[in-house]
Amino acid sequence: MQISLTHYLALAAVLFAIGFFGVLTRRNAIGILMAIELMFNAVNINFVAFNRFITPIEFTGQIFAIFTVVIAAAEATVGLAIVLLIYRNFRDIFVDNINLMKW
């Protein structure tokens, strides 16, 4: 069976949906960050697949994917630092319990 663009896009869409579901349902801040990483990687699959099938001569999509990886790393770094700060202050990283401000 030939693997077509549709297969890649379906894979990316499923991964994105799993990541989004994870963000909404996870209670652990680290888990939420991991789910967001999953969403970024779904987008990367999109970019690389579009690059291969839509513009095989140029490399725009692959370059975009590299930028996304780098930025996701930067975001994760800041994210983990903030989660650490939360742990020091609240002794807890479950987002349900971090609710000083409401409405």
Partner 1 sequence: MPNLKLMLPELLLFAWAILVIIIGISRRRKNNESLIYITLLGIVISGLLIPIAGYGELFGRTFLVDKYAVFFKIIFLGAAFFAVASSSDLMSKLKSDHGEFFGLMLLSTVGMMFLTSTAELITLYVSLELTTIPLFVLAAYRKDQLASSEAGLKYLILGALSSAILLYGISLIYGLTGTTFLNDNLMRLIQQSIQMLLTTASINPALAIAIIMLVAGLGFKLALVPFHMWAPDVYEGAPTPVTAFLSVASKAAGVAALARIFYAGLTSFHSTDWGPLLAVLAAAAMIVGNITAVLQTNIKRMLAYSSIAHIGYLLIGFVALPLGDSGSINGPASLMFYLFAYMFANMGAFACAIAFARNFDSYQIRDYQGLSEKSTGLAVMLTIFLLSLAGIPPLVGFFGKYYVFLAGWTDYRWLVIIGILTSVIALYYYANVIKQMFFNKEKSTLDKVKLDTPLAITLVLTVIGTIVCGLYPEPVIRFAVEAVAIFPF
Q: Residues interacting with partner 1, by CB under 8 A? A: 9, 16, 19-20, 23, 29, 32-33, 36, 39-40, 42-43, 46-47, 50, 54-55, 58, 60-61, 63-64, 67-68, 71, 74-75, 78-79, 81-83, 85-86, 89-90, 95, 98-103
The number of helices, as runs of H, and strands, as runs of E, in the chain is 3, 0
Q: Which is nearer to partner 1, 10 or 82 (CB)?
A: 82
Please answer whether residues 68 and 43 qualify as being in contact, where contact means their C-beta atoms are separated by less than 8 angstroms.
Answer: yes
C-alpha 35/C-alpha 38 separation (Å) is: 5
**To the nearest whole angstrom, how small is the minimum distance from the Cβ of residue 1 to partner 1?**
22
Give the DSSP letter of residue 28: B
